[in-house]
Amino acid sequence: MGQSYDYSIQSVRLRVLGDLFRGCVIPAGVIFLALRLAGIRLGFISGALVFPVAALTGSYLLSVYRDHVDAREANKLGAITVPRVKGNLPGNLDVLFRLLRNQERGYMMDAFSELYKECNSTTVNLRILWTDKYITMDSEHIKYIYNAGFSKFWRGHTQKEIVECFLGTGILNRDDDEWKTHRMIARPFFASDRVSHLDLFERHAQKAMSVMLNTDPGDSLDFEDLVARFTVDAASEFLFGENLNTLSYGKDGFNSFTNAFMAIQALIRKRSTVGDWWPLLELFKDKSEGHKRTIRSWVDPLVVRAVRIQKEMKEKGQSVNPDDCTFLEYLATTTQDVEVIRDQLLNILLAARDTTTALVSHVVYFFAEHPDVLKKAREEILEALGPEGTPTVENMRGLKYLRAVLNETLRLFSPLPGSLRGTRDQGVAFPRSDATHNSPPMYVPPRTPIATMPYLMQRNKALWGPDAEEFKPDRWFDPEVLKTVAANSSVFVPFASGPRSCIGQNYALNEATLFLVRLLQRFEEFTIDERKQLSPPWTKDPTIDMGLKHSRGGTSRKGIERIWPGFTIVIHIRGGLWMRFKKASE
C-alpha cells in the first residue's frame, strides 16, 4: 500500500503545492469566475483579498462538510466524533504556536496535557491548519491501536514523509510485507540467547567505569554523554562487529555524529507538530541534508566495506554463517544496496543507543534526587553480588528492587514518549475510553494520523492514583498496582505492545541492568552539578508558563524537576546530565 508512494523531498514539495493549489487557487478562481459572470469587476486590493478570503472560506466549508460526514459515519458505528480543540485563530494557528512554544521552552508535553483537560477527553482532534490530527493518551485506545485494531492502522504517508530523511526504508518506517521482512531479518539477532551473552556489555561498562574513576575528585562529567558513548560502542560492536571506541574520548568526531543524530530527530519532531504543511517551511532547502551527510559519513564506510567483503566471499564460493555473524554482515547477504542496509542499521541503532541512554540517565537522575532509593538498590546489589561479583542473567533477574527502579523510571520517562500511526482507507471506531472519562466509543476517519502518547498515559492519575507523578519504586511491590497492570497491560507500555512491540526490549534491559550494577558497585553517591546543569527556563523566571493554565492541573513534577526533559523521537535531558560521583568506600 505504501511502497509505490514517493517520499522524496521533491515529491513531498509537489504534494503540498498541489494541496495549496486546490485549497487556495481553485476556490479563488471559482470566485473570480462567478464575479465576472455577474458583471462585477474588482480593483487591485479587493482582487488580492480574494485569495485569502477564498482559502479561509473554502477551508471552513470543507471543515463543516467533513464534520457532517464524520458525524454520519460515527453514528453508523454507534460512536461519537472525537472532541476537537477550538482555538481563537483561523486554522487553530494559536494552538500550533502554543505547541511550538512549549516544545522550545516549556515542560515536556505540558501543552498536550492542557489540551486534553480543556477538551475533557483523553483523545482529541487538534485540527491544525484545517487538517485533522488526532492525539490520544487513552489506555484503551492505545491498546486497540497496538493490538486488537493493529491491522486497521499503519505508519502511513504522513509519518513516512516526515521521517524518510532519517529512517528511510527501515523497520521503524515501513508497513505490511516490507515491515514484516525487516522484522523477520532482525528478530534472530535480538533473541534471548544472543542478548543474554553479557560479555559485550561488560567490556564497555568496565571502560565507562574507568572513565568515571579517572575523573578528578570534585569535578563533574556529562553522564548522559558517557552513557551514549557506552551504548554506541556496544551497539556498534553488536551490529557492525566493530567497536567505534567513542569512550576513548579522542578526536573521533563523535560529537558531530551525536549532534547530527539529535538535530535530525528535532527537525522531525518540528515537522510532526506542524503537520501536513511542513514542506512549506522547506520549499527551497531540505533542512535535513547537512545532518544526513554527517550521519552517513559515519555509517556508509562500514556498509560499503561489508558489501565489498560479502561480494568477495561470494566470488570465492564462501558464505556467512547466520549463527555467527554480525547484523551488518547478514544484511549484506540479503542485498547489495548500500542505502537499504544503511536505513536498517540506523533504525536499529536509534533503538539500541538512544533508548538505553535515556533509561540509564534518568535512573541515575532519580538516584541523585532520592538517596534512600540509591541506598536500597546498592544494598540489594552488594548482598547479591558483593563489590566485585560478575553480573549474569541469573543473578540480575534476582535484583527485584533494581527492576522496580527501572520500571518506575520507564513509567515516568518512557524512552519513546509518543508514536505516530494513522488509519487506513476505512474509518475506525475505538472501544469505550478508559476510566479517566469513560467516554463512549469514538470514531476516527479514514487516512487520518493519530499520535499515541504513553508518556502522558503513564502519568495519568485516573489510572495510577493521586501519586502518579511521584517517583516511587515501591509501587511495583503493591498488589493493587500489579493487579491493575496485569488486568490492563496497556497502562504500562514503555516498549509498546502488540506486533510492533520493541524487539530489542531484552537487549535494552540487560544492557541497562548490567551497567547500573557495575555503577553501584563502584559508586555510592551521585549529585547534580548545579553550575553546569542546564536549568529549565521556568526555574529562572516563574512567569514563564507558555500560555498554559497550570492552575487547571499542569504537571505537578514541573515544580520539582531539576533537569529539563525533552524529546525528539526518543526522550533526553536537555544540556546533558552533569553529575558528580562519590566512589564507594573500601
Which pLDDT tens digit goes with each residue over 221-247?
Answer: 999 999 999 999 999 999 888 888 889
pLDDT in tens, 68-117: 999 999 999 999 999 999 999 988 999 999 999 998 889 999 999 999 99
Q: What percent of the chain has pLDDT over 70?
A: 94
- Rounded to 5 degrees, φ, ψ at 276 are -60, -20
Query: Up-side HSE of residue 58: CA atoms within 13 Å toward CB?
Result: 19
pLDDT at 257 over 90: no
Render pLDDT for 366-390 as a digit per residue (tens, 0 to 9).
Answer: 999 999 999 999 999 999 999 999 9
- Condensed to tens digits (0 to 9), the pLDDT of residues 47-64 reads 667 667 777 777 778 888
Q: What confidence category does residue 253 fall into, taking pLDDT thresholds of 50, 70 and 90?
A: low
CATH 3.90.1150.10 assigned to domain 77-583? The reply is: no
Identify whether the C-beta of residue 201 lies closer than 8 Å to the C-beta of residue 512: no
Q: Average pLDDT, stretch 502-525? A: 95
Give the pLDDT band of residue 40 (cuts 50, 70, 90): confident
- Mean pLDDT for 463-476 is 95
pLDDT for 225 equals 94
Chain position carrying cell 520493541: 502
Which positions ≥6 away from 318 have C-beta within 8 Å? none
* Nearby residues of 358 by Cβ (< 8 Å), 6 or more positions away: 413, 415, 570, 571, 572
Confidence band of 549 (pLDDT split at 50, 70, 90): very low
Is the predicted pLDDT of residue 148 greater than 60, yes or no? Answer: yes
In which element (H, E) is residue 523 found? strand 523-528
Whose cell is 514539495? That residue is 13
Do the Cβ atoms of 355 and 376 come closer than 8 Å?
A: no
Q: What is the mean pLDDT of residues 334-360?
A: 91
Place of cell 560499503: 304
Question: Which DSSP category does 552 fall into?
Answer: G
As beta bridge partners, residue 449 has 422
pLDDT in tens, 209-222: 999 999 988 899 99
User: Hey, CA dihedral for 275, 281, 286, 287, is it positive or negative?
Assistant: negative
- Spatial separation of the C-alpha atoms in residues 301 and 137, rounded to whole Å: 42
Residue 252: predicted pLDDT: 60
In the structure, what pLDDT confidence band is assigned to residue 554 with cuts at 50, 70 and 90? very low
Closest CA to 413 of 471, 350, 487, 461: 471
Kindly state the average pLDDT of the residues 151-173.
Answer: 92
Whole-number Å distance between alpha carbons of 47 and 59: 19
Helix, coil or strand: residue 224: helix
Q: With bands split at pLDDT 50, 70 and 90, how would you rate the model's confidence at 586?
A: low
Angle in degrees, 0-180, between the axes of helices 338-349 and 176-186, rounded to the nearest 10: 70
CA–CA dist 40, 474 (Å, integer): 76
Residue 261: the pLDDT is 87
Nearest 5°: phi and psi at 125? -110, 115
Does the annotation list 502 as a binding residue?
Answer: yes
Type of residue at 166: F
Q: Which three cell numbers stand for residue 424?
A: 487506513
Q: Residue 251 pLDDT > 70, yes or no?
A: no
